[in-house]
Amino acid sequence: MIQDFSEIEDTITESSVWEKSKDFLSLHMDIGNDISISILDILVVITSIFITTIILRVIFKVITRKLPNEDKGKFSVVYGYFRWLVYIIILLITLHSVGVNITAVFAASAALLIGVGLALQTLFQDIISGIFILIDQSVHVGDIIEINGKVGRVEEIKLRTTRAVTIDNKVLVIPNHLYLENSLYNWTQNGMSTRESVEVGVAYGSDVQLVKKLLLQAASTNEDVLHSPEAVVIFTDFGESSLNFKLVFTIGDSFRAQFPKSEIRFEIDRLFRENNISIPFPQRDIHIIKK
C-alpha cells in the first residue's frame, strides 16, 4: 500500500508539473489591441529561425564552394540581406501558423513596403544581376566586353555595377541589370587573342596575286600580329568600282586592335604605291542630253 501511495503521489506531482508548464507556455502577451502571442509561440518561432539558419548556411556553402575568395566576400554581403529577408518571411509565416493575428502588421506596413519596393526596383535588379555574374562566372576582371556598342576592359565587378576602362582611358560604369536586358559580347572568353580584319579595294585590271602577296607582307611585318594562325587573304567581291579583298589576321591584345590595324593600313598604302597598285574611288558616268 505504501508503494502504491508513493506511485500515486509521483503521478500527481508529475501531473502538477505538467499543468504548471502548460499554463506557463500558455501565458499570452498582448501587443497592442490586435496582436497576442504566447510563450509557446515564441519557442516555436525561435525553433523555426534556428532551423532556417542551418538551411541557409548549407545553401551558402553549396553556392559559394567554387567561387574565388574575393567573390565570396562580395556574395556574403548580398547573402546577409537575403538572410534577413528570409528571416522576416519565416517569422511572419510561423506567427500566422500558430494563430497570431498579423493582419494588422501587414495593413500598417503595406503602403510603406510598396513605396520602398518601387523605389528600389532597379537597385534590386542590379544586385540580382550581380549575383548571377558572380555565380555564373561569365565575366571576369581583365575581360574585354562589349555592351550597347561600348567596349571596355573590366577592372572591377561589384554587386550593383561593373567598372570598365575604355580604349581612350575613360571609366565605363555599367549597371548590372543591363546584362539581363542586352546581349553581352565577351571578346576574351576564349582567350586574349582575337581575329581581326582590314578591307581594301583595288582597281580592275590589278594583279590579284600580287595584291594577295602584298597584303600578307603587310600583316607579317607587324609585330602585333601573331604568326599562328597564319594571316589569310579573302577575295570578297567584284565591286562596282573595285576588286574587294579582306586581310584576316590574329592579334594577342584585342583591346588595342585599332592600333595594329591602323599600322597595317599605312603599310598597305605604302606597298601599293611602290608596286603601282591603285585604290580606286567610286566613279559615275554622267550623260547630258541636249534638247
Which CATH number does the domain housing residue 231 bear? 3.30.70.100
Given this model, what pLDDT does residue 234 score?
A: 94
Q: Is residue 132 part of a domain?
A: no
Q: Is residue 291 part of a domain?
A: no
**112 and 86 share a domain?**
yes
> What is the Cβ-side half-sphere exposure of residue 280, based on CA atoms within 13 angstroms?
16
Domain boundary among 84, 119, 154: 119
* Pair 39, 25: CB distance under 8 Å: yes
Identify the domain containing residue 231 by its residue range.
194-274
- pTM for the whole thing? 0.52
**153 and 238 share a domain?**
no
Q: Is residue 256 part of a domain?
A: yes
**245 and 210 share a domain?**
yes
* Pair 178, 132: CB distance under 8 Å: no
| DSSP label at residue 278 | -
**199 and 181 share a domain?**
no
**115 and 20 share a domain?**
yes
**203 and 265 share a domain?**
yes
Q: What is the CATH number of the domain that holds 27?
A: 1.10.287
**111 and 55 share a domain?**
yes
Q: Is residue 65 part of a domain?
A: yes
Tally of structural domains, the chain: 3
Taking the C-alpha atoms of residue 178 and residue 160, their distance in angstroms, rounded to an integer, is 11
Taking the C-alpha atoms of residue 64 and residue 209, their distance in angstroms, rounded to an integer, is 57
In the predicted model, residues of the chain with pLDDT beneath 70 are 1-41, 66-81, 95-96, 98-120, 135, 189-192, 283-285, 287, 290-291
Q: What is the CATH number of the domain that holds 143?
A: 2.30.30.60
Burial class (CB in 10 A: 0-12, 13-18, 19+), 263: middle
Residue 163 pairs with which residues in a beta bridge?
156, 173
SS3 content of the chain, % helix, strand, coil (to 5): 50, 20, 30
**94 and 73 share a domain?**
yes
Given this model, what pLDDT does residue 5 score?
A: 44
Q: Is residue 279 part of a domain?
A: no
* Pair 161, 176: CB distance under 8 Å: yes
**74 and 26 share a domain?**
yes
**204 and 179 share a domain?**
no
Q: What is the CA radius of gyration of the chain?
A: 36
Q: Is residue 31 part of a domain?
A: yes
**Helix (H), strand (E) counts: the chain:** 8, 10
Give the tens place of pLDDT for each residue, 126-182: 777 777 777 677 787 788 888 887 888 888 887 778 888 888 788 888 888 787 777
Q: Is residue 289 part of a domain?
A: no
Q: Is residue 125 part of a domain?
A: no
**181 and 199 share a domain?**
no
* CA-CA-CA-CA torsion sign (49, 52, 57, 58): positive
Taking the C-alpha atoms of residue 127 and residue 122, their distance in angstroms, rounded to an integer, is 9
**201 and 265 share a domain?**
yes
> How open is the CA angle 33-90-18, to the nearest 5 degrees?
70
